[in-house]
Structure formats: C-alpha cells, structure tokens
Structure 1
Amino acid sequence: MIPESILKQYGALKITLGKKEVLFTEQSIPRYYFQVISGKIKMNNFNADGKEFIQGIFTSGSSFGEPPLFQELAYPAQAEAVEESSIWKLEKGTFFKLLKENPEIHLQVTRTLAARLHYKATMVAEISSESPEHRLLRLIDYFKEHIHNIPVNKPYVVELSRQQLADLTGLRVETVIRAVKALEKKGVLQIQAHKIVR
C-alpha cells in the first residue's frame, strides 16, 4: 500500500517472522504500522471453546492492524505469521507524520480502511443469516475481486485451506467440505488438484 521507498525514507525497519510466530497479541497496545513484504499474516482470535476465528489474512503489499493505531485502542485480535514472512514496521508517531506529509498516501490508507469496514459489514450479515454455501461463495468472490483483483470472467484459484475458509466464515471445517462438494456438483466451482477454482 505505502511504497517501500517512502517507508524506508521514514525509517521503517524490516523484520522477519517464522511460521506461527506471533507479532502482537490481543489486547496489547499498538505502537507500530505494519505492512507485509512477503509471506502471509493472519489476524485471529479464539472463543471460549478454543475455536479460531480469522479476522483477515494479509499478503504482500497489505497493511494490517491500523484501526486501533488511529483510535489508541487495544488490538481486538492477535497477528500471527501463517508462513515465514517479512514485514515493514514503522513507529506510530512517524507513521502519522508520513500521512500528514503525503496526502495521497493518507487517502489510500483511508480507502483501504473503508474497504475493510465494508467487508466486515458484509460478512457479519452473511455469517448471521446465510447458508454455508452462500457464505463461502461470498468470501471467495470477495478475495477474488477485492484482494487479488481478478476479473469476474477469469478463473481464481483459492489459496486458502478448508480450515482457513472455516475460520473466516465461522463454519466448522466439515461443513466447509460438504458445502464445497455441493457447490462443485452444482457447477458453481471446480476442484483441481485439491484446490478450489471459481
């Protein structure tokens, strides 16, 4: 999102996380802006029964964890590396200075936050009232169109595991597997080499 040259200019540091390494925990106080260079970072929490709910998965060029940074609130979820990952880390005060001195970047950050709010509002409605098949299609289409910017008429290979799909939609993994099979039978998606293609 923010060009790497600008991040370097403002003193951002590059850090590396190993698979499953936690960057920050739920309820910790935000002190940095984070942006993925490579790998995948997920923001997640767990309910009282230990079931994981994934708030979002962030890949190269994506930032994450900004809303609490702006509001001086604790993080509502933890951030964990899905795989070995490199990220930019920029101190909070310097991040705000960067935004004030670069209005176009500030606008882009605002657009990104607005898109995430839209996604959250959409998914809350889906999770509370729609069938598992509908929830999965909405999630897959969101990733296809808004995360990976793939045109509707082009095939999209879903890189998320069945478990990650379950954790993003609030479903059980067994329900996801059944729903995917049902959608394949209906011809809505395909399974190729164990990957979902839509």
Structure 2
Amino acid sequence: MKSADISLKNAVRAANWAQLLDADQLARVEADTVEAFVPKGGFVCRKGEPAEYWIGVISGMVKMNNFSASGKAMTFIGVPPGSWFGEGSLLKNEIRKYDTMALRDTRVARLPAATFHWLLDTSLPFTRFLLMQLNERLGQFIGMVENDRLLDLNTRVARCLASMFNSHLYPGVDTLVQLSQEEIGLLSGSSRQRANQALQVLEKQGLLRLDYGGIRVLDLDGLRRYEADDAT
C-alpha cells in the first residue's frame, strides 16, 4: 500500500515502536492519536510553540529548519513517511526549537504529550526504543556538523541521501528515495541546479540512478564512503 493511501490506524500500527506495545497500550494510542493535513510549504509545527504532540509522518515529507535574523533558512533534516520526531522537546517539556515544514502535501499523525509520557511510564520496550531513537538522532546531527564543515557539496549530497537509510529513524525508506532535486538541494544546503550537478556526478560513479519519481540508490555503502576525490 502506498503511504498516501494508508489509514491513520494502519500508519500507527506499522510504526516500529507501536509493535512493541501490548494490546491495551496500543488501543489507547489508537484512540488518542489524531491526523492533520499540511499543504506544501505549510508548518507542521513552529519554533516557539509548546511541544504538545509526538509527530509521525504518514505520507509526504517534512523538513526541520530554522531561520536566521536576516531570514536565511538552514535545513537540518528531512523526515520521510514512517518516521516520528519531536521526542526531545517532549522529554524536556520545552518549546519547539525549530520549524517543521511540509516539503510537499503531507499527512501527519499527532500523539498527545500525555499519552507519550504514559507510554514512558508503562512500557519498558517503548522507553528502550526512545533511548535508541535519541542515540541515532545524536549520531545523525554529529554527522551533519561534520558534513557541513568538512565536505564539498557533491559529498554532502551523497551523505544526505545515505542518511535517509537509517532503519531506526526512517523505517519506511525504499531504494527509491522519493525526493525531487529541489528537495535534495534544500536538505543539502544548495540550489536545485547545484544539487542536480552533484547527482549527475554520483550517477556517473554508479552510486545512484535518476528515475522518474525519485532517486534510485544503487550502492548505499558507496554513498556512505563517497569522497569527492573518489570521482574520476
């Protein structure tokens, strides 16, 4: 079933953390979780808002970003269908530190904070899942800092694509990454034109193929190891 066609109930049940719950816990999650539609360019949540929900992407794609005082945007990560985010703000009971915007028309699931904390109190497997989630998220952001400060754009695009293949953070990603070249540019900190040039370099290296509807990853390990000096 395509993510665009999946029901809220099935999206919740398909989440890797939901499969760790007992029947009563899952029943409460299903009863409390609500769905929202966010059009392309709209805000899923905004910086400065109280963290009232844990958020899952049912279909579409969202990006986490911030804006400088001068209005310059900096994108942190993209979040594809099947992924959940925002646990850090809930755990610390603080306001959101970033904006989250829809890269395309997007459906999201919202699990209330009260239910999220109830799961922490009643489900050891859920708590273990969150520990892994936070650890993976930390590794992801450390990698982003390294990429931004040390790597050229071609390598940043390669690492950007490779980072989407994290089975814990992004369990629903297939070998066909359904991102446009414009979206790759936003996520790697470049223009669409420059992202296109980088993708063509990576395609010539046999690491990916530009397909209709997205980017087909042919060599994931190669993307993870790619350095610009590898290009011929």
Question: What TM-score range do you get, normalising by the shorter chain?
Answer: 0.7 to 0.9
Closer/same/farther in 2, CA of residues 48 and 162 from structure 1, 3 Å limit: farther
Which structure 1 residue ranges, 4+ long, deviate > 6 Å from structure 2?
none
Q: CA deviation at 1:136?
A: 1.2
Q: Is the 8 A contact 2:50 2:96 kept in 1?
A: yes
- 1:188 & 1:90 partners in 2: Cα distance? 38
**TM-score normalised to structure 2 length:** 0.71
Question: Are 2:49 and 1:28 aligned?
Answer: yes
**TM-score normalised to structure 1 length:** 0.82
Question: Are 2:191 and 1:172 aligned?
Answer: yes
Unmatched runs of 5 consecutive residues or more in structure 1: none
Alignment counterpart, residue 192 of structure 1, candidates 211, 214, 220 = 211
- 1:122 paired residue number: 143
Q: CA deviation at 1:48?
A: 4.4
Which is worse superposed, 138-147 or 188-197? 188-197
Letter matched to residue 13 of structure 1: T
- 1:141 paired residue number: 162
Q: State the identity %.
A: 24
Unmatched runs of 5 consecutive residues or more in structure 2: 1-14, 218-232
Closer/same/farther in 2, CA of residues 7 and 29 from structure 1, 3 Å limit: farther
Paired residue secondary structure (2:179): coil
Q: CA deviation at 1:145?
A: 4.8
- 1:180 & 1:167 partners in 2: Cα distance? 14
Closer/same/farther in 2, CA of residues 165 and 69 from structure 1, 3 Å limit: same
Q: Is the 8 A contact 1:14 1:86 kept in 2?
A: no
Q: CA deviation at 1:144?
A: 3.1
Q: How many correspondences in the alignment?
A: 194
Q: Is the 8 A contact 1:23 1:81 kept in 2?
A: yes
Q: CA deviation at 1:61?
A: 3.0
Letter matched to residue 88 of structure 1: A
Q: CA deviation at 1:14?
A: 1.5
- 2:89 paired residue number: 68
Question: Are 2:38 and 1:18 aligned?
Answer: yes
Closer/same/farther in 2, CA of residues 189 and 91 from structure 1, 3 Å limit: closer
Paired residue secondary structure (2:177): coil
Closer/same/farther in 2, CA of residues 52 and 158 from structure 1, 3 Å limit: farther
